[in-house]
Each structure stands twice: as C-alpha cells, then as structure tokens.
Amino acid sequence: MTSSQELFDRAKTLMPGGVNSPVRAFGQVGGTPRFMVDAKGPYITDADGREYVDLVCSWGPALLGHSHPDVLAAVHAAVDHGLSFGASTPAESELAMLVKGRVPGVEHLRMVSTGTEATMTAVRLARGYTGRDLIVKFAGCYHGHLDSLLAAAGSGLATLALPGSAGVTAATAAQTLVLPYNDLAAVEAAFAAHGERIAAVITEAAPANMGVVTPGEGFNAGLSRITTAHGALLIFDEVLTGFRTGPAGYWGLTGAEEGWTPDLFTFGKVIGGGLPTAALGGRLDVMDYLAPLGPVYQAGTLSGNPVAMAAGVATLTAATSSVYEIVDARSLELSAALSTALAAEGVDHSVQRAGNLFSVAFGTGAHGVHNYDDAQAQEVFRYAPFFHSMLDSGVYLPPSVFEAWFLSGAHDDAAMNRIFEALPAAAKAAASA
Ligand code: PMP
C-alpha cells in the first residue's frame, strides 16, 4: 500500500471525505489523492517520494513557482518577529500600495484571509451601500462558499454535480438571480425587471471554475455599463485571475484598455503568495462604507497577518514583467501541445483560453464552451483516464475537468518537456475512454 493510501485512509477517519476542500478527494477522477509533502519550483513531491510537474500550483498562488527564494526569505524574516499581533503593521500598507500601483481603481483596500471572505464582504458592502437586496451572479462562476453565491456555482459543485448547497435557505437563494454567462441580453432583461432592487452584479473577471471560459468581446465592459446605468455596483472577482493573468490581472487586459473600471475588485491566491490572504478593494466612497468609517461591518482576527503580508509583498515584488512573459509563453506552448496530442488521437475537444489561463473540454466540437450549459454538456468521462495517464507519467493536473491548469514562472524547459512527453499517452487514454 502506498503512503498516500495509508494517509488517505487515516484522514477519512478524521475528516469528511478525508479532505479539507472537496475537489482534493479525487471524486471526479477516482483513485487515491496524493498527499503532498514538498514543493519546489515547478515540482511537487508526494508522501511516497514521487515527484510531479505541478500544474495546480496551489490553485493559483504559486505564480513564481513553489518556494521561491525571495518569498521564503521574506517569510522567514517575518516569522522571526512574531506570528500575529492583532494590531496594524507596516506591511499591510506596503502590500496595499503594491496592489494600488498595479490596479489604480483600487482606491482603498481591506485585507481578509480567504477569497470567500473577500466576495462575502463585497456582497454585503454592495447591499449596504446601495440599500438594495438582489445580487446577480452567472451560472458556472464560483466566488467561494458564501450562502448567497452557491447557486450553479461551478468549481467543486460542478465536480460533484451539485446544483447548489444544502443548508442555504430559500430566502437567501431568492435574493440571488442566476443568469447565463456571456449573455448581456439576459443582464439587460434582469435589470429591466428588477433594476431598482439589484445591488450588484458579481462576475469572475474571466471564468475559470467551469473550466476556463473566454468572456465574449465587450461582455465585461457591458456589465460595467449596465450596472452604472442602474446605480448598481460591478464586483469584479479577480481572486483567481488577479496578478496572474498579468500585472494588473484580467482587468489589466480588458478594462484598462477599454476605459472602464469595476466598482469593487476581489483578490486572493497570488496576493498572499501561498499564505492565507485575500482582499477587496475599489471605489473610495464604497470602500469607506466599511467599518470603522461606515455602517457595514467586517473584521478578522488574522486579517493582514504579518507573515502573510510579507509573502504577498515578496511575491508581487518578484512578479516582474518577465514572469508574466514566461507564464504567457508557457501557456501558449502547452495549450498548443495539448491540442496537437488530442487531435492526433482524434479526440474532439476545445482548449478554452482567457489570457494565460486555459483548460480542456472534451466533446464540445468547434463550438467550445461559452457558458455553464456548454461546460456541463461535455464528455466529462474522458478526463479521468487522461488525468491518470498524466499522473502516472509524473504530471499533476487539477483533479477535475472544470478547473484551470496553472503554470508558473518556474516552469522551465525540463519541466515543460516532461509534460509534452506525457501528453500522447494521455491523449490515447482519453480517446479510448
Ligand atoms: N473567487 C474565485 C474566482 C475563486 O476561484 C475562488 C477559489 N477558487 C474563490 C473566489 C474563493 O476563494 P477561497 O477558496 O480562498 O475562499
């Protein structure tokens, strides 16, 4: 029996499903989840000493690769001064300045510990600021596990084929309007019907939790226009895309060029460099509606934790334009190689792209995936054999077809070649599924 199997068996006696986050249980792909003990650069090593090229990158944070020397040094230095003070620290402002320097629409910022807290606070703030109750979200977009946004939420719910979560009251669900992604006419219609009551539209800057979906030309700009026209807020969820799809996230690739800015942004993952930090930020008048200045309450014992701030500052400082050039280039190389390998085996697929994010969808034909219905209509069964073939060849992919593949600035030629060599056999496995 492998160590991972023994560890999983023990974990199952202690934790629901043996995990602390559902997709880690390998529910869609089957088999034994690998228990990880070490990660450096583009590699991650399991409890049996097997090394994998890592295409999960902690689900996004490891933009620089694992254990980047600057980040580890900053964390070690911070640790030597204490782990948590429960008081303000200089590093919080340093990280806020780095964020603001990249995303000028972030006039004020509030640090929290997880992406879920960031979106939860943004939703409460939007309601408090506008005095309205309804929130619009898009099917297939995941914003964390807050009650009001768990309907048709992608990510682990897509993996487990759940329409929503038990435990969310009908009253809460009724305050969320779920619309099809990439459909501005549906947004216009929702505002025509309920415009006076809609506090905010929340959207993933580019969806990556139903697999990756490209926001259609003008979609995000249209959301900005419609929300502004109706006095509602646009919450641009960059928890996954922020500081990953470019120095200024997905907004930097779209809004910055097109001349629109969301009212609120949410960030997570890269901003904490692998430690638990996330944030919301945006318009001064909206952000200052938060306590202690305003009536919307939010707080956190570990918010702005000094060790996490040090990791975030070191990560954003080391994430120079050359890191983004590497990730962009590797993303193009890998998605092309993936497509070539699948085409060679006659596997109907689309490689879904948004900036440097990508994922694969099977059986989607030339049409590809534009919304949650498309994502759910795909041949999910082809992913498990594909995934396990890659795993056997030493490549660690996300254990669900509904997740993006993550690269880092540390994915060098040696790591990429290992992935390329693994692809033909995996494509064959997908073909014969
Ligand atoms: N928003 C988006 C777009 C995400 O991808 C995620 C997590 N994958 C979240 C919010 C929630 O973040 P967390 O898991 O840190 O709560």
Q: Is it the case that residue 347 has pLDDT exceeding 80?
A: yes
Task: Give the C-alpha separation, 190 to 135, whole Å.
Answer: 11
- ipTM of this complex > 0.90? yes
Could you tell which of 116, 145, 266, 277 is best to mutate to test the pocket of ligand 1, judged by most ligand atoms within 8 Å of the CB? Answer: 116
| Atom 13, ligand 1: residue with shortest CA distance | 115
Neighbours of 127 (CB within 10 A): 19
- Per the residue annotation, which of 43, 129, 137, 237 is the catalytic one? 237
Q: How far apart are the first and last CA of the chain?
A: 27
pLDDT band of residue 151 (cuts 50, 70, 90) is confident
Q: Give the pLDDT score at 366.
A: 83
Q: Whose CA is nearest to atom 7 of ligand 1?
A: 144
Is the distance from CB of 404 to CB of 322 less than 8 angstroms? no
Q: Which residues, listed in sequence order, are joined to residue 179 by a DSSP beta bridge?
A: 138
Percent of the chain past pLDDT 70, that is, above it, reads 100
**Does the pLDDT value for residue 336 go beyond 90?**
yes
Predicted pLDDT at 392: 98
- Mind listing the pLDDT tens digit for each residue in 273-311? 999 999 999 999 999 999 999 999 999 999 999 999 999
pLDDT per position as a tens digit, 60-93 = 999 999 999 999 999 999 999 999 999 999 999 9
Nearest CA to ligand 1 atom 5: 240
Chain centroid to CA 274: how far? 13
Contacts 24+ apart (CB under 8 A), 86-94: 86/301, 88/304, 89/304, 89/306, 89/309, 91/304, 91/306, 91/309, 91/310, 91/313, 92/304, 92/309, 94/309, 94/313
Report the candidate in 145, 29, 2 with the shortest Cα–Cα distance to residue 399: 29
Residues 363-387 pLDDT 10s: 998 899 999 999 999 999 999 999 9
> Is the C-beta atom of 143 inside 6 A of ligand 1?
yes
Which among 80, 74, 114, 79 has a CA at the least distance from the CA of 94? 74
- 164, burial (CB in 10 Å: exposed 0-12, middle 13-18, buried 19+): middle
* Cβ count near 44 (within 10 Å): 23
- Could you tell me the pTM of the whole model? 0.97
What's the average model confidence in pLDDT over 317-342?
98
Residue 155 scores a pLDDT above 90: no
Tell how far the Cα of 20 is from the centroid of ligand 1, in angstroms: 14
Question: Which ligand 1 atom minimizes the distance to the CA of 269?
Answer: 15
Mutate to test the pocket of ligand 1, among 148, 240, 275 (most ligand atoms within 8 A of CB): 240
Quick one: pLDDT at residue 62?
98
Q: For the segment 159-198, what is each residue's pLDDT rounded down to a tens digit?
A: 777 778 889 988 898 899 999 999 999 999 999 999 999 9
**pLDDT value, residue 208:** 98
pLDDT band, residue 246 (cuts 50/70/90): very high
Ligand 1 centroid from CA 425, angstroms: 32
Q: In this predicted structure, what is the pLDDT of residue 156?
A: 81
The pLDDT of 129-134, averaged and rounded, is 98
Q: How far is the CA of 30 from the centre of ligand 1 (A)?
A: 23
Write out the chain in H/E/C secondary structure: CCHHHHHHHHHHCCCHHHCCCHHHHCCCCCCCCCCEEEEEECEEEECCCCEEEECCHHHCCCCCCECCHHHHHHHHHHHCCCCCCCCCCHHHHHHHHHHHHHCCCCCEEEEECCHHHHHHHHHHHHHHHHCCCEEEEECCCCCCCCHHHCCCCCHHHHHCCCCCCCCCCHHHHCCEEEECCCCHHHHHHHHHHHHHHEEEEEEECCCCCCCCCCCCCCHHHHHHHHHHHCCCEEEEEECCCCCCCCCCHHHHHCHHHHCCCCCEEEECHHHHECECCEEEEECHHHHCCECCCCCECCCCCCCCCHHHHHHHHHHHHHCCHHHHHHHHHHHHHHHHHHHHHHHHCCCCEEEEEECCEEEEEECCCCCCCCCHHHHHCCCHHHHHHHHHHHHHCCEECCCCCCCCECCCCCCCHHHHHHHHHHHHHHHHHHHCC
Q: Which domains does the chain have, with CATH numbers?
A: 3-63+320-431 (3.90.1150.10), 69-318 (3.40.640.10)
The answer, yes or no, to whether any atom of ligand 1 lies below 6 A from the CB of 119, is yes
Residue 154 binned pLDDT confidence (cut-offs 50, 70, 90): confident
Residues 6 or more apart whose Cβ sits within 8 Å of residue 13 = none
The per-residue pLDDT for 152 is 83
Residues in Cβ contact with 1 at an 8 Å cutoff, skipping those fewer than 6 apart: none
142 counts as catalytic: yes
- The percentage of the chain sitting over the pLDDT mark of 90, rounded to a whole number, equals 94
Q: Which of the following is catalytic: 43, 52, 142, 250?
A: 142
d(CA 212, CA 378): 13
State residue 143's pLDDT score. 97
Judged against a pLDDT cut of 90, whether residue 317 lies above it is answered with yes
- Count CB-CB contacts under 10 A for residue 87: 7
Express each pLDDT in 10-52 by its tens digit: 999 999 999 999 999 999 999 999 999 999 999 999 999 999 9
Cis peptide before 61 (omega within 30 of 0): no
116 close to ligand 1 (CB < 6 Angstrom): yes
Rounded distance between C-alpha atoms, residue 191 and residue 9, angstroms: 50
Place of tokens 């600057």: 70
Tell me, yes or no, if 383 is annotated catalytic.
Answer: no
Question: What average pLDDT is seen over the chain?
Answer: 97
**Does 157 have pLDDT greater than 90?**
no
pLDDT at 76: 98
**Is residue 52 annotated as part of the catalytic site, yes or no?**
no
Q: What is the pLDDT of residue 137?
A: 97
